[in-house]
Amino acid sequence: MMNTLIILPIVTQFAIAIVLLFFWKNIFAQKILSFLGCVVAIFVAGSLLNAVYNNGIITLQAGGWPAPFGITFVADTFSSVMVLLCSLASTAVSVFSSVSIKRARLRFGYFPCFHFLIMGLNGAFLTGDIFNLYVWFEVIILSSFVFITLGGKKVQLEGAVKYFTLNVLASMLFLTAIAIIYGLTGSLNMADLSEKIREIQNQGLVDIAAIIFLVCFGIKAAIFPLYFWLPDSYHTPQAAISAIFAGLLTKVGVYALIRVFSLIFVPDDFMRTVIACLGALTLISGGLGALVQTNMRKMFSYLIVCHIGYMIGGLGMFTATALTGAIFYLIHDIILKTNLFLIGGVIFKITGEINMKKMGNLYSEYPVFSLLFAIPLFSLVGVPPLSGFWPKIDLFKAAFLNNNLLLVGALIFGSFITLFVIARFWSEAFWKNNDHRIIKPYIEYFWQMPKGQQTLLILPILFLSLVTLYIGLGAENIYRVAERIAGELMDTTPYVNAVMGIQP
Amino acid sequence: MELILAIIVGLLYAAGIFLMLRRSLIKLIIGIIFLGNAVNLLIFLLGDLVRGNPPVIKDTDRVLTGVYADPVPQALILTAIVISFGLQAFAIVLIKRAYIVVNTDDLDKIHTTDEE
């Protein structure tokens, strides 16, 4: 078997990070090596997805200890798709950050830390052990702490205090839930847990553990009412860092929620109602938050919260159709949110402002770029045939079939608010004429940069926009993948059999 | 023994959450440390306490029989202690920097991120 393929995405990132540590002083070499490593990682992730898609679930028992005694790595379609998306987004961010972040800040080990972060993400997607998932979460948050404080400005440190506290609290809750689960079952392997948890007499304690998992992953994924730390901290770091946070860090929470609630705690009617209501409230409150913001990056942050609601709502309905919609939305959202914050970074470089009211003239000065930026913005709203449109069909269908009118209302409300907010942003930043722009001497503006650097800023956005276009125009392929993932999530027997080594 | 540990775990959780809800940065960190220790003790407690029976297979046996101390919780706690140590080290440096830059210990005055 090609078992070792499964840890290659983790090992690749780890190797790049270590090689980069040897080039601590040589920033230029770090930029090149980081980009090359990201390209290799895309191929590794692609071959993993290819192998999983054609041959079924791949497992690896670390150290040869058979499950459930050792640590298991599992690649099913869901995790390998997430690994591929992660490597696509990280490539774009790696290129973007090599230009957008100042040399003085890159000197503090930005690139090694970046690859440790991606390694943690890949590990979280591929592990099949609940305690190992906790360890990967810690790898992720420790790297993200370095990123969020990089620069050490006042607003960053204040954002970091909030980000740190909530994430550490979530980790403690995660560990508490693991302790309860281990006390009940004596196992940490997720596939083993999914069988043992059904035989527990005391279902009350199991429900408590499920609720604690919901809260801790809810904090990470920023669902209502646990999202308040996100808009307060995501706008403070550099644009490239916000992009990787927005695209991947909240989504790993969503991934963990979907994984845990489909495999271990299959939600009953009550839990479905709770999760669906949380999804609806996330949509409404995130949308309302975005509505009142004039700060561009804060508005984007609230849009992250708002759109998390689509996936949580899809999980809450827990039918094959709803999960297909939720997974499709997750695929679309990772690429799009990364792109959105990169665009925010370029707009800041062009105008020197983050307040929408003070922007303007973008369309008349940069018509081609504006059209490029329009692709992701329109996808975000869900204009057919772009990528945001397709998952919503399934989500609406599932919500109507489930007779969940609150969720139907929230889905419509969320889409409408997104349309309104993006339209307002477009007219303020792109179409408005503004002759009173102030030139700030301490900002390096877009037009002051050499041509090569300008290209390196735009290329990642172009790349991610092309991926978004593919997700929209090649929706049939993506839909087939999403449908297959939803099938695997609804029927976890193949997953359990693959991990436990049972021949069907 | 279980009862004493259960009470200690409860007290540590209560104290940790109480301190985290205070407005001082220092108390926030102490609360996080308390919570971390509470979780470690909880894992230890829920892994069943057994005295004086290490999980060692005798020469005469092929499998482990009878009651023995579960080694997994101890491995988990060891990992968790190392991780929480790293987090706490970061936290202390972070609040020191934050205190120097923001010039206050009061969490209610940390609201630059809400403005604009």
User: Does the model's ipTM exceed the 0.85 cut?
Assistant: yes
Q: In chain A, which residues touch B (CB < 8 A)?
A: 131, 135, 138, 142, 145, 149, 152-155, 157-162, 164-165, 168-169, 171-172, 175-176, 178-180, 182-183, 186, 188, 232-233, 235-236, 295, 355
The whole-chain average pLDDT of chain B stands at: 87
**The pLDDT of residue A174:** 94
Residues of B in contact with A355 (CB under 8 A): 116
Q: A355: which strand partners?
A: A295
Residue to substitute from A176, A230, A233, A296, interface B, most B β-carbons within 10 A: A176
Whether residue B116 has pLDDT greater than 70: no
On whether residue B20 sits in a domain, the answer given is yes
The structure tokens listed for A207 are 């429900």
Instruction: Report yes or no: A493 and A262 within 8 Å, Cβ to Cβ.
Output: no
Q: In chain B, which residues touch A (CB < 8 A)?
A: 20, 25, 28, 32, 35-36, 39, 42-43, 45-48, 70, 72-73, 76, 79-80, 83, 86-87, 90-91, 94-95, 97-98, 101-102, 107, 110-114, 116
On whether residue B57 sits in a domain, the answer given is no
Residues of A in contact with B14 (CB under 8 A): none
Return the residue matching tokens 């960190």: B29
On whether residue B59 sits in a domain, the answer given is no
**The pLDDT of residue A49:** 93
Option in B36, B98, B113 nearest A232 (CB) = B113
Q: How far is the C-alpha of A19 from the C-alpha of A71, rounded, in Å? A: 27
Q: Which residues of chain A have pLDDT under 70?
A: 1-2, 504
- What one-character-per-residue DSSP string does chain B give? -HHHHHHHHHHHHHHHHHHHTSSBHHHHHHHHHHHHHHHHHHHHHHT---SS--S---TT-SS--S----HHHHHHHHHHHHHHHHHHHHHHHHHHHHHHHH---BGGG--GGG--
**The pLDDT of residue A309:** 93
Q: What distance in Å separates residue B41's CA from the closest CA in chain A? A: 10
Domain count, chain B: 1
Strands A58-61 and A72-75: antiparallel
Residues of A in contact with B96 (CB under 8 A): none
On whether residue B60 sits in a domain, the answer given is no
Query: How far are the Cα atoms of A254, A434, B5, B17 from residue A173, in angstroms, in the given order?
Result: 16, 49, 19, 12
Residue to substitute from B48, B79, B113, interface A, most A β-carbons within 10 A: B113
Q: How far is the C-alpha of A414 from the C-alpha of A418, rounded, in Å? A: 6
**The pLDDT of residue B38:** 94
On whether residue B61 sits in a domain, the answer given is no
**Cross-chain Cβ contact B97/A152 below 8 Å:** yes
CATH of the domain at B80: 1.10.287.3510
| Dihedral pair phi/psi, residue A346, rounded to 5° | -70, -40
**The pLDDT of residue B37:** 92
Q: Would residue A33 be called left, alpha or beta, if left means φ above 0 and alpha means ψ between -120 and 50 degrees?
A: alpha
Q: What distance in Å separates residue B60's CA from the closest CA in chain A? A: 24
Chain centroid, CA B102 distance in Å: 28
Q: What distance in Å separates residue B112's CA from the closest CA in chain A? A: 6
Q: Could you give the maximum distance between any two Cα atoms of chain B, in Å?
A: 74
**Cross-chain Cβ contact A161/B110 below 8 Å:** yes
